[in-house]
Amino acid sequence: MPTASARINISELLANSRIGPIQIRVFALCLLALVIDGFDVQAMGYVVPALSTAWGVPPAEFRTVLPAANFGVLIGSLVFSPLADKVGRRPVLIWSTLWFALATLGAASAGNVTQLFWLRFVAGIGMGCIIPNATALIGEYSPAGRRVTLMMTITVGFTAGGAIAGFVARALIPTFGWQSVFVVGGGIPLVIAIAMLAALPESLQFLAVRRRAAQVRRWLRELDPTISVNETTEYVTNEESKGGMPFMHLFSDGRALVTILLWVVSFMNLLNLYSLSNWLPTVVNGMGYDQNTAVLVGTLLQVGGTIGTFGLAWAIARSGFTRTLTLNYALAAISIAVIGQPGLSLALLTVIVFVAGWCVVGGQPGMNAFAATFYPTYLRSTGVGWALGIGRIGAIVGPYIGGVMIGAKWTSQQLFWAAALPAVISALTLMILTKVVGNKVQAN
Chain segment 261-320, per-residue pLDDT in tens: 999 999 999 999 888 877 777 777 777 777 677 767 777 887 888 888 889 988 998 888
Identify the pLDDT of residue 243.
57
CA–CA distance, 182 with 56 (Å, rounded to integer): 19
- Confirm if 50 and 108 have CB atoms less than 8 A apart: no
Identify the pLDDT of residue 239.
62
- Give the closest residue to 398 by CA, choosing from 419, 416, 367: 419
Identify the pLDDT of residue 342.
80
Identify the pLDDT of residue 293.
76
Measured CA angle at 240 (ends 238, 242), to 5 deg: 160
Identify the pLDDT of residue 441.
57
Identify the pLDDT of residue 302.
79
Identify the pLDDT of residue 327.
96
pTM value is 0.79
Q: Which domains can be identified in the chain, with CATH numbers?
A: 7-220 (1.20.1250.20), 246-437 (1.20.1250.20)
DSSP string, 163-187: HHHHHHHHHHHHHH-THHHHHHHHH
Give the three-class secondary structure for 307.
helix
Taking CA atoms, 327 is separated from 256, 316, 377, 423, in Å, by: 24, 11, 29, 11
Give the three-class secondary structure for 146.
helix
Residues 6+ apart with CB under 8 A from 167: none
Identify the pLDDT of residue 1.
42
The secondary structure of residue 60, as a DSSP letter, is: G
Identify the pLDDT of residue 109.
93
Give the three-class secondary structure for 236.
strand
**Ranges of residues in the chain whose predicted pLDDT is under 50:** 1-2
DSSP string, 392-427: HHHHHHHHHHHHHHHHTT--HHHHHHHHHHHHHHHH
